[in-house]
């Protein structure tokens, strides 16, 4: 006696959170059943393996049917076929768009193209996340990217409106979209110590201060593209390291202010010019796309690593960066104070976040 057909349809669609998780994680029905058996559910409920198999199949079928709607979450709210309480709808959407840290680190900053999609099996092998789940996550990134890419208004708001995600998750997606659009390099070995959270933090600061949206809230792509004019202007900052007097004056101001307050004062003093050169050169190079992509590599190479090798504490870094930014206001010959603040304000935040082991 074999079961040809076996279905259960409720007027209110039954959603089993545990099975949903297994489905999202890309397990096959059989694997999911095995995992559920291992969780001890048979003992708890007195059910048989057959019952579990049938139940799992049912849920998988339901999720499969829901998936089409989850691709455009507002559809899930308006559709008539599945009656699902709003709280459950929110849960379905949120979980569907939730991604794995390990996965996002692999694709962050990469072009969301077919080429990248082909590499998903490598990523799957590397991270231990099933290929199915990798595909879902990748497609989610790509889908969100496509929808909000050319939209006006705040990136986070757009994502929230079109995908009904929680604030937290929408912010993460904003970072992913921002990184994908600007193709920031995040995969280098040097950057491996950084988490998605680190990058997302930086992305948020950069969206707030460095994009078109920071100056004009009615532009297309305002939150996605960096403000080209601003990047051009950054060249002006070069004077800070090119003009030897200005550089010396800057150094003396910083040193005067920090003497006795910094655990690594002498190291700072000897390294000041290198560090300053590094930070200003990063700014000056941002006119080239290639250098924009390498922003994080440069920051780590030019600032994080030298400080780290001299054993700066986070507090040392904070004191230094504050003073380093502020002292520029006292440089009489320097006329680009606003530009400097827009640049350094964001960079300081990013560097502090990036400075850890």
Partner 1 sequence: MPGKLKVKIVAGRHLPVMDRASDLTDAFVEVKFGNTTFKTDVYLKSLNPQWNSEWFKFEVDDEDLQDEPLQITVLDHDTYSANDAIGKVYIDIDPLLYSEAATVISGWFPIYDTIHGIRGEINVVVKVDLFNDLNRFRQSSCGVKFFCTTSIPKCYRAVVIHGFVEELVVNEDPEYQWIDRIRTPRASNEARQRLISLMSGELQRKIGLKVLEMRGNAVVGYLQCFDLEGESGLVVRAIGTACTLDKLSSPAAFLPACNSPSKEMKESPLVHPPSHGCRSTHNSPIHTATGSRLTQNFSVSVPTLIYTGMGSGSAGKEGGPFKALLRQQTQAALEQRGGSPHRFCRRREFPFLTLTAFPPGLLVHVGGVVSARSVKLLDRIHNPDEPETRDAWWAEIRQEIKSHAKALGCHAVVGYSESTSICEEVCILSASGTAAVLNPRFLQEGTVEGSLEQRIEENLPVGCGFCHIPYDELNMPFPAHLTYCYNCRKQKVPDVLFTTIDLPTDAVVVGKGCLIQARLCRLKKKAQAEANATAISNLLPFMEYEVHTQLMNKLKLKGMNALFGLRIQITVGENMLMGLASATGVYLAALPTPGGIQIAGKTPNDGSYEQHISHMQKRINDTIAKNKELYEINPPEVSEEIIGSPIPEPRQRSRLLRSQSESSDEVTELDLSHGKKDAFVLEIDDTDAMEDVHSLLTDVPPPSGFYSCNTEIMPGINNWTSEIQMFTSVRVVRLSSLNLTNQALNKNFNGLCENLLKSLYFKLRSMTPCCLCHVNFTVSLPEDELIQVTVTAVAITFDKNQALQTTKAHAEKTLQRASTDNDELLQFPLELCSDSLPAPAFPATKEHLESASSNSGTPAAQRAVTVEKASPMGDGNFRNRSAPPCASSTVGVVKMTPLSFIPGAKITKYLGIINMFFIRETTSLREEGGVSGFLHAFIAEVFAMVRAHVAALGGNAVVSYIMKQCVFMENPSKNQAQCLINVSGDAVVFVRESDLEAMSTQQSAVNCQTSCPGEVTT
Alpha-carbon 224 to chain mean position: 13
What does the radius of gyration of the chain's CA atoms come to, in whole angstroms?
Answer: 25
Asked whether position 147 contacts partner 1 by CB under 8 A, the answer is no
Q: Which residues of 306-337 are buried (b: 16+ CB within 10 A; e: fewer)?
A: bbeeeebeeebbebbbebbbebbeebeebebe
Report the nearest approach of partner 1 to the CB of residue 154 (Å): 22
Residues 325, 344 contacting (CB under 8 angstroms)? yes
**What CA–CA distances, in Å, run from 69 to 80, 81, 90?**
11, 11, 13
47 near partner 1 (CB under 8 A): yes
Number of residues lying near partner 1 (CB under 8 A): 40
Residue selected from 24, 27, 58, 105 as contacting partner 1 according to rule CB under 8 A: 58
Could you tell me which residues come within 8 angstroms of residue 197 by beta carbon, excluding any fewer than 6 positions away?
none
Work out whether 62 is an interface residue with partner 1 (CB under 8 A). Answer: yes
* 78 scored as a contact of partner 1 (CB under 8 A): yes
Comparing CB distances to partner 1, the nearer of 37 and 255 is 37
Among 21, 34, 61, 235, binds partner 1 (CB under 8 A): 61
The reply to whether 39 sits near partner 1 by the rule CB under 8 A is no
Select from 39, 48, 270, 274 the one that contacts partner 1 (CB under 8 A).
48
Q: Does 75 bind partner 1 (CB under 8 A)?
A: yes
Q: Which two tokens stand for residue 162?
A: 């079109």
Distance, CA of 193 to CA of 299 (rounded, Å): 14
Helices 167-182 and 155-163, packing angle to 10 deg:
120
Least separation in angstroms between residue 132's CB and partner 1 is 16
Task: Work out which of 7, 114, 115, 167 binds partner 1, going by CB under 8 A.
Answer: 7
Among positions 22, 26, 55, 160, the unique one binding partner 1 when judged by CB under 8 A: 55
Q: Does residue 11 touch partner 1 according to CB under 8 A?
A: yes
Q: What SS3 class is residue 227?
A: coil
Tokens coding 289: 């796309």
For the chain, the farthest-separated pair of C-alpha atoms sits apart, in whole angstroms, at 92
Nearest C-alpha neighbor of 206 from the set 74, 354, 97: 354
Residue 14 interacting with partner 1 (CB under 8 A): yes
Supply the minimum distance, in Å, between the C-beta of residue 27 and partner 1. Answer: 18
Instruction: List interacting residues with partner 1 (CB under 8 A).
Output: 1-14, 45-48, 50-52, 54-55, 57-58, 61-62, 64-65, 75, 77-83, 85-87
């Amino acid at each position: 006696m074999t079961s040809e057909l076996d279905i259960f349809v409720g007027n209110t669609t039954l959603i089993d959170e545990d099975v949903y998780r297994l489905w999202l994680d890309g397990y096959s029905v059989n694997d999911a059943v095995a995992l559920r058996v291992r969780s001890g559910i048979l003992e708890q409920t007195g059910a048989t393996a057959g019952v579990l198999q049938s139940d799992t199949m049912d849920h998988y079928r339901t999720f499969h049917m829901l998936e089409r709607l989850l691709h455009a979450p507002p559809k899930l709210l308006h559709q008539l076929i599945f009656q699902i309480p709003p709280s459950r709808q929110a849960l379905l959407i949120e979980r569907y768009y939730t991604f794995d840290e390990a996965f996002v680190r692999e694709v962050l900053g990469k072009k969301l193209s077919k080429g990248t999609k082909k590499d998903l099996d490598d990523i799957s092998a590397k991270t231990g996340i099933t290929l199915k789940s990798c595909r879902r996550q990748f497609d989610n990134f790509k889908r969100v990217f496509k929808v909000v890419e050319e939209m006006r208004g705040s990136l986070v708001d757009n994502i929230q409106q079109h995908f009904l995600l929680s604030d937290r998750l929408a912010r993460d997606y904003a970072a992913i979209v921002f990184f994908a659009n600007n193709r920031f390099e995040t995969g280098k070995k040097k950057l491996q110590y950084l988490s998605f959270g680190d990058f997302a933090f930086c992305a948020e600061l950069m969206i707030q201060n460095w994009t078109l949206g920071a100056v004009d809230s009615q532009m297309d792509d305002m939150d996605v593209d960096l403000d080209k004019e601003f990047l051009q202007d950054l060249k002006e900052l070069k004077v800070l390291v090119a003009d030897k007097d200005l550089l010396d004056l800057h150094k003396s101001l910083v040193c005067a202010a920090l003497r006795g307050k910094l655990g690594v004062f002498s190291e700072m003093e000897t390294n000041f010019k290198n560090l300053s050169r590094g930070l200003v050169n990063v700014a000056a190079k941002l006119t080239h796309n290639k250098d924009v992509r390498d922003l994080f590599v440069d920051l780590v190479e030019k600032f994080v690593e030298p400080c780290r090798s001299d054993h700066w504490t986070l507090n040392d870094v904070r004191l230094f960066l504050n003073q380093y930014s502020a002292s520029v206001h006292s440089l009489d010959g320097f006329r680009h104070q606003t530009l400097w603040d827009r640049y350094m304000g964001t960079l300081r935040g990013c560097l502090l976040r990036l400075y850890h082991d």
